Amino acid sequence: MIKRHIIFAASFVTTIIIGYSDYLSGVHVSMMLLYAVPVLLSAWYCGKVEGIFVAVGATVSWFLVNANNNPSGESEAVMSWNAFTRFGIFVLIAYTVSLQAQLRRALERERLRSETDRLTGLLNKGAFRDRVEEEMDRARRYKHSLSLAFIDLDNFKRVNDTQGHARGDRLLQQVSETILHAIRRTDIAGRIGGDEFAVCFAETGEEEARKAINHLLKTLQIMTSQSGWQVTASIGVVTCRELCDTYDALLGKADKQMYLAKEKGKNTAEFVAI
């Protein structure tokens, strides 16, 4: 909201500055294009109404400049008509640009909705796969390491059975929030099943992955103990040193490591490097 106000105020002030420059340059130099710039910016970033307000300011600024700098002696009727046509052009710019901005934002919202798991806000299974495969291609190209973690909640079914699905959903939301807070902004997190999550650690070797997963486990333990959830997490991690396998094969290896972690008592992580 503050950003919109700043852009709107800056656009309005800009029309005054352009008007003063227009006055200094004289009637023989057209500033039409410059007047249109703040109208365009305010309409794109602020909206149609703000764009029209700036269009009014640009028109008034132009009219005052030409009224005080009118060597050809144009009549008031001619000047009024010219001002009206310029106002119409500015309003058309504001209206068209604002519609384009609305359409772009709507398309972006739809894209995010199609990629996002509605319950947790993480990437859904398909979007996670796409993002990880892009990262795997990058790892192959530049010969970077990459680590993939498969996370499964221990005793989650007991929560659903004893406390209800609404409480289970709340647990999944809290786990997702904890994962996002524990990983880097460059890492990729997704929900790939009911109580199954996955995290792709870009450009991350085995030692770095161990540190990241240990931090994640501790963060999850703190969250569950403070919130009273009787659950833990078992995590399987696979690290590609240079050449990554396919996504399905990589996820399968991480899944196997996760089951090893469960067999060893849960609430732990198992690692493998390939």
Of 13-22, 136-145, 147-156, highest mean pLDDT: 147-156
- Residue reference for tokens 């002696």: 73
Angle at 54 between CA 49 and CA 55, to 5 degrees: 90
- Residue reference for tokens 């902004």: 185
Extents of the domains making up the chain: 2-109, 125-273
Q: Does the structural domain 125-273 have CATH classification 3.10.270.10?
A: no
The C-alpha R_g of the chain, in whole angstroms, comes to 29
Nearest residue to 148 (alpha-carbon basis) of 192, 204, 196: 204
CA 65 and chain centroid, separation: 43
Whole-angstrom distance, CA of residue 150 vs CA of residue 256: 9
pLDDT value, residue 77 = 82
Taking each helix axis from N to C end, the angle separating 32-45 and 2-25, rounded to the nearest 10 degrees, works out to 180
- Residue reference for tokens 């410059």: 34
pLDDT band at 23; cut points 50, 70, 90: confident
> For the segment 77-118, what is each residue's pLDDT rounded down to a tens digit?
888 888 889 899 999 999 999 999 888 888 877 777 778 998
Q: Is 152 a catalytic residue?
A: no
Contacts of residues 24-31 at CB distance under 8 Å and 24 or more positions apart, as own/partner, are 26/69, 27/66, 27/69, 27/70, 27/71, 27/72, 31/62
Q: Could you give the 3-state DSSP secondary structure of residue 153?
A: strand
> For the segment 41-71, what is each residue's pLDDT rounded down to a tens digit?
999 999 999 999 999 999 999 888 888 876 5
pLDDT value, residue 113 = 78
Residue 269 has φ and ψ, to the nearest 5°, of: -135, 145
pLDDT value, residue 143 = 86
Residues 154, 195, 245, 248: which is the catalytic one? 195
**Length of the chain in terms of residues written:** 274
- Residue reference for tokens 């023989």: 28
